[in-house]
């Protein structure tokens, strides 16, 4: 495995993920503030200048929000940014009015104003929150954080680590973010890709471990567009959950796995590397491996012995997807982008040729329409099962994210895949999902490659 010097050899502290600072006595009934503001952080490796970012409470990632399953989350978004904003709680099954999609479920919160979010976290798992206004810019500037909902009963692991993966497009001299967030080339191709990859807002994350320890790794892909191909070294791993939802049977990890934008995976990893060695979460790039996170192993003799394969995490309630066979199917044709051959599409109610769309910096269409429509893609009654058949006729992969509900992929043999809220659909693929209508309201359904959302790849589902 090759390593990049800038990413290794520095003892970097694990991150500034601050816990909940709750006053011992509630001074008032006001929710705790979550301040969206500018900040300066050391993002690039030491020796580079600090970077100005936008962060929740001025940190990168934003303040960790962590509750136990069934607890209430109350947060007052205080917008100290020079732009409107809103907060989306990615993967949480909450009321529609709390979903935070500016322009669909709430008005954007203007600079200087605030908005109170208040909901119960029904599911245990690994979630995250991020800006949902001009997210192609605001998420790229750092407006995101982890949201962890702990299981009712403690889970038997030695460490529980949150790893938010992101890539940053930085000027190599000044270490400042490239301000061209809506560059036509990145919107029309694979999206904004960074030249600097980080975990939890730091160049290098090192987590010391002991031989044979079992660690829960909560990986969250917060990147605008990058799909992370990952593998393990010096670790034996099991997939315990995707997108916050436990698998019925943990899956032994063999070889490489992908983490698309917006996706999460919970792994249990057992340290197999010996004391004095380092285990790694490895990022693959053109057959080369880079250390995304290093786990230096120390402390022999006293360590525990290896454990058996882990038992499944407790399932979240009411996640069945019944009656898939007879459920109505809605088609979703994904078109456009560079080399996509899109001739024309409807934009703002007008049919435009591809040239005119390019001039409007809009490149992608769902069912022949660019961007949001007045009418939903589909109506689903609460409690009813519906299917969406997605056909990707573009030249790029897309990370399709449904708000408010988890879905299961309907596999070719009729089996159902694991519960997910974000699915990678590669070029030329047809993939079908099934889900049950959840809380009533307007639920966004879009590509989580945020430049694609900004240039056409968004629609919505109405639950009645």
The residues binding ligand C2O (CB under 6 A) are: 88, 90, 130, 132, 262, 401, 403, 444, 446, 448
Rounded least distance, CB 438 to Cu ion, Å: 24
Paired with 460 in beta bridges are: 444
Rounded least distance, CB 143 to ligand C2O, Å: 11
Choice between 262 and 376, CB closer to ligand C2O: 262
Q: What are phi and psi of 116, to 5 degrees?
A: -95, 125
Residue 446, interface with Cu ion (CB under 5 A)? Answer: no
- Choose among ligand C2O, Cu ion, none what residue 449 binds, the Cβ cut-off being 5 to 8 Å by kind: Cu ion
Choice between 109 and 444, CB closer to ligand C2O: 444
Candidate residues 169, 452, 454, 455; the one interacting with Cu ion per rule CB under 5 A: 452
The Cα–Cα gap between 36 and 77 comes to 7
- Choose among ligand C2O, Cu ion, none what residue 90 binds, the Cβ cut-off being 5 to 8 Å by kind: ligand C2O
Contacts of 203 (CB under 8 A, 6+ apart): 6, 7, 10, 12, 43, 44, 45, 46, 196
Residue 53, interface with Cu ion (CB under 5 A)? Answer: no
The Cα–Cα gap between 429 and 449 comes to 17
Stretch of 43-51, 167-175, 302-310, 452-460 contacting Cu ion, by CB under 5 A: 452-460
Choice between 356 and 372, CB closer to ligand C2O: 372
- Choose among Cu ion, ligand C2O, none what residue 141 binds, the Cβ cut-off being 5 to 8 Å by kind: none
Rounded least distance, CB 90 to ligand C2O, Å: 4
Q: Single out the residue of 200, 180, 260 nearest to residue 226, CA to CA.
A: 260
Residue 447, interface with Cu ion (CB under 5 A)? Answer: yes
3-state secondary structure 35-56: EEEEEEECCCCECECCEEEEEE
Residues 301, 302, 304: CA angle, nearest 5 degrees:
105
392, 369 Cβ separation under 8 angstroms: no
- Choose among Cu ion, ligand C2O, none what residue 271 binds, the Cβ cut-off being 5 to 8 Å by kind: none
Max distance between CA atoms of the chain, in angstroms, equals 72
Segment holding 223, helix H or strand E: none
Q: Whose structure tokens read 């058996």?
A: 308
Rounded least distance, CB 363 to Cu ion, Å: 10
Choice between 232 and 424, CB closer to Cu ion: 424
Choice between 199 and 422, CB closer to Cu ion: 422
SS3 344: strand
The Cα–Cα gap between 6 and 70 comes to 42
Choice between 297 and 334, CB closer to Cu ion: 334
Choice between 130 and 141, CB closer to ligand C2O: 130
- Choose among Cu ion, ligand C2O, none what residue 88 binds, the Cβ cut-off being 5 to 8 Å by kind: ligand C2O
The Cα–Cα gap between 464 and 384 comes to 10
The Cα–Cα gap between 287 and 266 comes to 24
Rounded least distance, CB 262 to Cu ion, Å: 11
Q: Single out the residue of 424, 432, 443 nearest to residue 378, CA to CA.
A: 443
Stretch of 52-60, 171-179, 342-350, 398-406 contacting Cu ion, by CB under 5 A: 398-406
187, 137 Cβ separation under 8 angstroms: no
The DSSP output letter for 242 is E
For Cu ion (CB under 5 A), the number of binding residues is 4
- Choose among ligand C2O, Cu ion, none what residue 211 binds, the Cβ cut-off being 5 to 8 Å by kind: none
The residue number with the shortest CB distance to ligand C2O is 90
- Choose among Cu ion, ligand C2O, none what residue 262 binds, the Cβ cut-off being 5 to 8 Å by kind: ligand C2O
CB atoms within 10 A of CB 158: 15
Choice between 280 and 401, CB closer to ligand C2O: 401
- Choose among ligand C2O, Cu ion, none what residue 132 binds, the Cβ cut-off being 5 to 8 Å by kind: ligand C2O
Site for Cu ion, rule CB under 5 A: 398, 447, 449, 452
């Amino acid at each position: 495995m090759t390593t990049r010097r800038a990413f290794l050899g520095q003892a970097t502290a694990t991150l500034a993920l601050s816990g909940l600072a709750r006053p011992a006595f509630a001074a008032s009934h006001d929710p705790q503030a979550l301040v969206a503001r500018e900040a300066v952080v050391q993002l690039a490796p030491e020796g580079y200048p600090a970077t100005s970012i936008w962060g929740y409470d001025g940190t990168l990632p934003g303040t960790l929000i962590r509750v136990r399953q069934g607890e209430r989350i109350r947060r007052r978004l205080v917008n100290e940014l020079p732009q409107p904003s809103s907060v989306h709680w990615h993967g949480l099954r909450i009321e529609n009015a709390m979903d935070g999609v500016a322009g669909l479920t709430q008005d954007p919160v203007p600079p200087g104003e605030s908005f109170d979010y208040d909901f119960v976290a029904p599911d245990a798992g690994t979630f995250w929150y991020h800006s949902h206004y001009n997210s192609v810019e605001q998420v790229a500037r750092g407006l995101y954080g982890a949201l962890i909902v702990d299981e009712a009963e403690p889970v038997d692991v030695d460490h529980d680590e949150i790893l938010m993966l992101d890539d940053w497009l930085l000027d190599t001299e000044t270490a400042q973010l490239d301000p061209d967030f809506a560059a036509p080339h990145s919107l029309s191709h694979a999206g904004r890709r960074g030249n600097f990859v980080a975990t939890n807002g730091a160049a290098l994350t090192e987590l010391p471990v002991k031989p044979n320890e079992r660690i829960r790794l909560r990986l969250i892909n917060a990147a605008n567009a990058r799909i992370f191909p990952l593998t393990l070294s010096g670790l034996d791993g099991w997939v315990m959950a995707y997108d916050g939802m436990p698998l019925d049977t943990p899956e032994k990890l063999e070889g490489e796995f992908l983490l698309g934008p917006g996706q999460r995976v919970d792994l249990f990893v057992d340290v197999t590397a010996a004391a004095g060695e380092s285990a790694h979460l490895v990022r693959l790039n053109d057959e080369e491996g880079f250390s995304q996170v290093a786990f230096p192993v120390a402390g022999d003799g006293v360590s525990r012995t290896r454990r058996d394969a882990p038992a499944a995490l407790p399932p979240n309630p009411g996640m069945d997807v019944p009656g898939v066979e007879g459920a109505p199917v809605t088609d979703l044709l994904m078109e456009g982008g560079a080399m996509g051959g899109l001739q024309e599409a409807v934009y703002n109610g007008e049919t435009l040729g591809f040239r005119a769309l390019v001039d409007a910096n809009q490149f992608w269409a769902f069912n022949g329409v660019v961007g949001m429509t007045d009418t939903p893609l589909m109506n689903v009654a609460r409690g009813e099962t519906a299917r969406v058949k997605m056909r990707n006729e573009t030249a790029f992969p897309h990370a399709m994210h449904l708000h408010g509900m988890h879905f299961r992929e309907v596999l070719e043999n009729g089996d159902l895949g694991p519960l997910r809220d974000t699915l990678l659909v590669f070029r030329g693929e047809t993939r079908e999902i099934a889900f049950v209508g959840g809380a009533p309201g307007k639920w966004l359904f879009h590509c989580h490659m945020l430049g694609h959302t900004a240039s056409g790849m968004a629609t919505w589902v109405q639950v009645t």
